Chains A and B, each alone.
Chain A
């Protein structure tokens, strides 16, 4: 029988798939032009298992110059567009291996991107005919068992609805991206002659607009005063927080009235209410939940969490992480997974507890995903040492999975109403009666217990502390990568696969900065200008409509061609409008760019005169750059510093504690960023130099002696 070519998405996945397909679990490994591939024997058939490197094909303009509108596009090898791409060898090796193959299997990750990766390889490398002889393996984990089931139950054809949805998404995003980004870039170029790459996209636009709206709310915020009563009660020699019944007092006079009446007074317990609170176990994670939890617990950005989760998936430790599902279907061998986990000492006792229960029914969430279950451990344990991030994410996934199998937790909440001279205060207690699922979630449970002493109605309590504290309302919080991701999910823009990248792009373009996200002046100008001349690009409605269309392709209710044509029709008038106002737009954007360049050149306050700023200056005579005080031009300060001549210099906003000069970050390709004080003669540097010098002379003496 002829060979079967199995196309995988990444080299690690290819190795695992080859091992699962080989009868003895030991496929022959080969490497050609640095591309690994494997030959597995299964019965009398030979499987050539080869990997891609993500997308080997991408979209490009068919012909014409660097302008817009562009509606004529085609799929091309990625290395022809991105010269640094390492995909050329993969295209050539797959081409060679596909010669004389009888059957093809798409074994890329089971999602839109994976399906499209295999489809473009088949279509553009193996030829149109290969598509008719191709089948699809569907799996959610890279364990041997799941891969073998996926092989036995492989689909008789490729998963065309997913492929077409993926193709349409790429084409629509490419058309929006290329046209809008060129329109922005060319508007500045044509109006002023200055070139700077600017970009905006179908999802980037509305996302940036959310950030802008929040920024405006924060920057125009005026706080309002209010007062709180902070009090403590003393019972049996111990102090307990006493809460005034009105959380925020709106008038200062009212606060003073409460203080006057209650100061030095004794309280009497008027009523005691106790109630049981049952907390259901949490549902297992989908990607968004995992990213939010990891941010809240460890401050990991969504990208860091996703990347760690993907590595864990490739190591067959957890299931496929790009899922929307919060559900564990009955087909998953929960018991088998737990038994696997019990081999690790720290999970053993917990697993034993779960296995001793009469049934193992996980708590299910509301969200579902037709392609994958919720993120769960596979039962495999790490064979090699994980990084700190991977290790934390693995533990979080394992414990969440076990917690989902736990009982509800039971808390007892007590509120004692305390009458202090006619004013009502509360004593609150909260105590866990039964841990339930919290026992399994362990270190990740956030709970605060306040244990009150035995209380009874009529009991007198001493008010030991009473204070009125002035407070002010706060502006809305800034987005962080995690809350922005949540908002994108809620309003339905982007997908679980693209949202993280979109946020990263906004950072890379310099539109936003900081972990607590600030909109930069450039970001503000981009939103303002687009909002003024083509507000459709910022509209959530348009991008949401396109997302819905993509879902309809997957359901077979619309074709990819129809959806792409609709997108072109939506884009055409926007670009015409843009072109008509190109000069105005260019001039406005240029103003913002100039301001942002100015800001980038300012390194910090001048430590010498205290009134000027240290900025990067390029010498007209030598062409070299240095840093000098802005007061040099009015003759009042001559402070200057030499600067490194290579790499990009970024201000850090910090000054050196030793000499007061600005601290800069120097970024050089292929090297670690360097954060340094720009003062060559900085005493801190000298001290460091002396320490090194002393250490060297000590070593020299040791050598001699």
Chain B
């Protein structure tokens, strides 16, 4: 069955999100380490900060908001 991105309804390519939102998600994961080093911040607070930051890209913000709304979305767990 064809899987669709829960954020934008685009087709997915083996990942839980479409390629653009997946790339934004990977960026979010990657940058989290830098934020944690910089200011000792938890995953959820980090997502909140990113979602509100004016420099955040549209797709990255959508992923952050999606993660905040559906904390336990399958395949998009918070980093350990």
**Given the complex, which residues of A lie within 8 Å of B39, measured CB to CB?**
225, 251-252
Pair A222/B60 contact, Cβ less than 8 Å:
yes
For residue A216, which residue of chain B has the nearest CB? B20
Q: Tally of A-B residue pairs with Cβ under 8 A?
A: 57
With the chains together, A217 CA to B60 CA distance in Å?
A: 10
With A216-B20, A221-B27, A222-B50 in contact, do A472 and B60 touch (Cβ < 8 Å)?
no
Q: How large is the interface on A (under 10, 10 to 19, 20 to 34, 35 or more residues)?
A: 10 to 19
Pair B56/A221 contact, Cβ less than 8 Å:
yes
B13-25 CB contact bits vs A (8 Å, 1 = yes)? 0000000100110
Pair A475/B55 contact, Cβ less than 8 Å:
yes
Contact of B28 among A219, A222, A225, A474 (CB under 8 A): A222
Q: How near does chain A come to B7, taking the closest CB pair, in angstroms?
A: 12
Contact of B35 among A216, A220, A221, A225 (CB under 8 A): A225
**Given the complex, which residues of A lie within 8 Å of B37, measured CB to CB?**
250-251
Q: Taking the complex as formed, is B34 at the interface, i.e. its CB lies under 8 A from any CB of chain A? A: yes
Q: Taking the complex as formed, is B43 at the interface, i.e. its CB lies under 8 A from any CB of chain A? A: no
With the chains together, A473 CA to B60 CA distance in Å?
A: 14
For residue B25, which residue of chain A has the nearest CB? A220
With the chains together, A226 CA to B34 CA distance in Å?
A: 10
Contact of A218 among B38, B50, B57 (CB under 8 A): B57
Pair A219/B31 contact, Cβ less than 8 Å:
no
Q: Taking the complex as formed, is B77 at the interface, i.e. its CB lies under 8 A from any CB of chain A? A: no
Contact of A251 among B23, B38, B60 (CB under 8 A): B38
**Given the complex, which residues of B lie within 8 Å of A252, measured CB to CB?**
38-39
Q: Taking the complex as formed, is A32 at the interface, i.e. its CB lies under 8 A from any CB of chain B? A: no
With the chains together, A224 CA to B39 CA distance in Å?
A: 11
Pair B38/A221 contact, Cβ less than 8 Å:
no
Contact of B60 among A221, A226, A250 (CB under 8 A): A221
Pair B57/A222 contact, Cβ less than 8 Å:
yes
**Given the complex, which residues of A lie within 8 Å of B58, measured CB to CB?**
219
Q: Taking the complex as formed, is A705 at the interface, i.e. its CB lies under 8 A from any CB of chain B? A: no
Pair A472/B24 contact, Cβ less than 8 Å:
no
Q: How near does chain B come to A218, taking the closest CB pair, in angstroms?
A: 5
Contact of B20 among A220, A222, A224, A473 (CB under 8 A): A220
Pair B57/A475 contact, Cβ less than 8 Å:
yes
**Given the complex, which residues of A lie within 8 Å of B34, measured CB to CB?**
224
Q: Taking the complex as formed, is A223 at the interface, i.e. its CB lies under 8 A from any CB of chain B? A: yes
For residue A254, which residue of chain B has the nearest CB? B38
Pair B24/A222 contact, Cβ less than 8 Å:
yes
Pair A223/B59 contact, Cβ less than 8 Å:
no
With the chains together, A252 CA to B49 CA distance in Å?
A: 15
With the chains together, A221 CA to B55 CA distance in Å?
A: 8
Task: For the complex, count residues of B whose C-beta is within 8 A of A.
Answer: 20
* Interface core residue of A225, A226, A251, A473 (most chain B CB under 10 Å): A225
Q: Could you tell me which residues of chain B, from 1 to 53, have a CB within 8 Å of some CB in chain A?
A: 20, 23-24, 27-28, 30-31, 34-35, 37-39, 50, 53
For residue A524, which residue of chain B has the nearest CB? B20
Q: How near does chain A come to B59, taking the closest CB pair, in angstroms?
A: 4
Q: How near does chain B come to A455, taking the closest CB pair, in angstroms?
A: 35
Pair A222/B38 contact, Cβ less than 8 Å:
no
Pair A220/B24 contact, Cβ less than 8 Å:
yes
With the chains together, A250 CA to B55 CA distance in Å?
A: 18
With the chains together, A472 CA to B56 CA distance in Å?
A: 10
Contact of B56 among A216, A222, A226, A250 (CB under 8 A): A222
Pair A474/B60 contact, Cβ less than 8 Å:
no
For residue A250, which residue of chain B has the nearest CB? B38
Pair B27/A472 contact, Cβ less than 8 Å:
no
With the chains together, A507 CA to B24 CA distance in Å?
A: 27
**Given the complex, which residues of B lie within 8 Å of A226, measured CB to CB?**
38
A206-231 CB contact bits vs B (8 Å, 1 = yes)? 00000000001111111111100000
With the chains together, A580 CA to B2 CA distance in Å?
A: 22
Pair A225/B38 contact, Cβ less than 8 Å:
yes
With the chains together, A223 CA to B39 CA distance in Å?
A: 14
For residue A473, which residue of chain B has the nearest CB? B55
Contact of B59 among A220, A251, A473 (CB under 8 A): A220
Q: How near does chain A come to B55, taking the closest CB pair, in angstroms?
A: 4
Pair B38/A223 contact, Cβ less than 8 Å:
no
With A224-B34, A226-B38, A251-B38 in contact, do A219 and B57 touch (Cβ < 8 Å)?
yes
**Given the complex, which residues of B lie within 8 Å of A473, measured CB to CB?**
55
Pair A223/B20 contact, Cβ less than 8 Å:
no
With A250-B37, A473-B55 in contact, do A223 and B50 touch (Cβ < 8 Å)?
yes
With the chains together, A223 CA to B53 CA distance in Å?
A: 8
**Given the complex, which residues of B lie within 8 Å of A225, measured CB to CB?**
35, 38-39
* Interface core residue of B20, B23, B31, B38 (most chain A CB under 10 Å): B38
With the chains together, A222 CA to B26 CA distance in Å?
A: 10
Pair A224/B31 contact, Cβ less than 8 Å:
yes
**Given the complex, which residues of B lie within 8 Å of A218, measured CB to CB?**
57
Q: How near does chain A come to B63, taking the closest CB pair, in angstroms?
A: 9
With the chains together, A473 CA to B30 CA distance in Å?
A: 15
Pair A222/B27 contact, Cβ less than 8 Å:
yes
For residue A252, which residue of chain B has the nearest CB? B39
For residue A218, which residue of chain B has the nearest CB? B57
Pair A472/B59 contact, Cβ less than 8 Å:
no
Q: How near does chain B come to A289, taking the closest CB pair, in angstroms?
A: 32
**Given the complex, which residues of A lie within 8 Å of B55, measured CB to CB?**
221, 223, 472-475
**Given the complex, which residues of B lie within 8 Å of A219, measured CB to CB?**
20, 24, 57-60
With the chains together, A690 CA to B18 CA distance in Å?
A: 55
A180-223 CB contact bits vs B (8 Å, 1 = yes)? 00000000000000000000000000000000000011111111
With the chains together, A250 CA to B37 CA distance in Å?
A: 8
A217-B57, A473-B55 known; 16 other A-B pairs, CB under 8 Å? Answer: A216-B23, A218-B57, A220-B20, A220-B59, A221-B55, A222-B28, A222-B31, A222-B50, A223-B31, A223-B53, A224-B31, A224-B38, A226-B38, A251-B39, A472-B53, A475-B55
Task: List 27 interface pairs A-B (beta carbons < 8 Å), by A numbering.
Answer: A216-B23, A219-B20, A219-B24, A219-B59, A219-B60, A220-B20, A221-B27, A222-B24, A222-B27, A222-B57, A223-B31, A223-B53, A224-B34, A224-B35, A224-B38, A225-B35, A225-B38, A226-B38, A250-B37, A250-B38, A251-B37, A251-B38, A251-B39, A252-B39, A473-B55, A475-B55, A475-B57
> Which 8 A/B pairs are nearest by Cβ-Cβ distance?
A221-B57, A220-B24, A223-B55, A219-B57, A222-B31, A219-B59, A222-B27, A252-B39
